Structure 1
């Protein structure tokens, strides 16, 4: 049976054609076909446009039969890849061509390693929580979608504040005059929620994050909630301006006064293909360029060295190696 990989690329980078050709040729020598996904644009709708289907999703791309969805681009392109990979449970492997690339596992210069790992199927699978999102108007669901990073409710015009009521597990929590609210997963805690002042959650934390955006209120701090929490945000009837709901910055729907957005943990995760066993701490240090000079490690260990488990082998990394290598991955001795 022919092995197939689906490739998702940034739509406008000038280096993409050469990179795609190189990648496809190398995999082709091992009998692996590469299918290039069509470009996907962000989707925007209103209750009237969505009609009775309530479906807020891009044109579907079928990844069934593909063993991986590989993405060349930044986090935005990787989120497009997640839209393709999630319905079929296909693992997603991101190759960063952007700036931070927090969801990416490798960099442009790692193509040789990526090809080798794909050919030998030498990667592990990491499950990332997603959320299901419903938009309710006049007592009926007018839109259903999902998010890997976050669902946000934001004001649609700049002049006035958006009036929002926050509900947690069926009970009112607070009402805010604000620019919006971000409801994020642990994966999304390093994205929009982080920029809005929220904390970073390690990916293995089971939780949801609620972060107000520029709220004019004394009680307006980020909240970490249980994974089974059911969140709801209402645009109160007397709000001076309407809102808009965004999921991962790719899918949006207009929210008139009285509309309600309901968010809950989804049963369908996104599967990320990982090439390294490095801890999330090292990824943070590498992606954010955090200063770690002067750290000497545990007092009972060898000064200046860190031991970590990679598979069944114990490998030591030097201080200088912790943030070295492509994409912040460690280089073994």
Structure 2
């Protein structure tokens, strides 16, 4: 666990350095060309840097152990960071759209096209590689902040590819206003990305249930490891960052001893933790007259 946590922190820190490097390259590409589309691309990279800073703070905070103030832990800190990232993405889109409108009204052809395109292409290659690292590791450790950061980088990549293709057309056709049109399209793409990040994060803050396939697995594990019980009902799950919370009622025969009921619960908990990583489980034991004859019937 400590090794995984340290690696997650290292990746979050490296993401900030990668963001600064890419931002510098894209600002240089804009400086050489004066292209509004490349300027919009650089603005999005500023958001990437802010995103990396927020993700670094959130990942560090989410790793803090539970305490008296937050007895369920700090795992939701990553969802808050993802919401902040989404808002920053939308702000960047608005700024880009403003520049696009101004550029459309006063068009001018970019300068030094080849240098700018090559530098921007190099920055994009870096983003592609790093986005895959963030998404894969974020999913592996169930880190919403790192995964959101990676998805935003991939959006940046798609935007940049569109900009590079479009700028090639600008230089071939001489239509200066196409540069501003490209910037506007980048802004719309960023808006959609920001909405997606916020939507997914709000789901986590609202205690969204686990994915259907995970819910099915949980029910199967309970059913196959509750020998001696009668039924399990009122099964509820919620996801909070990397943590999965599971709670349910377990009905046992009224004359069963506390020790035997406790042993059944221990067995179920052990098997659930094997099947679902980072699970927090609460089981409420009830006598048979509380059976609802619904949920998971064990016998």
> Which TM-score applies when normalising by structure 2?
0.25
- The structure in which a higher percent of residues are strand is 1
> Which TM-score applies when normalising by structure 1?
0.23
> Which protein is bigger by CA-based radius of gyration?
2
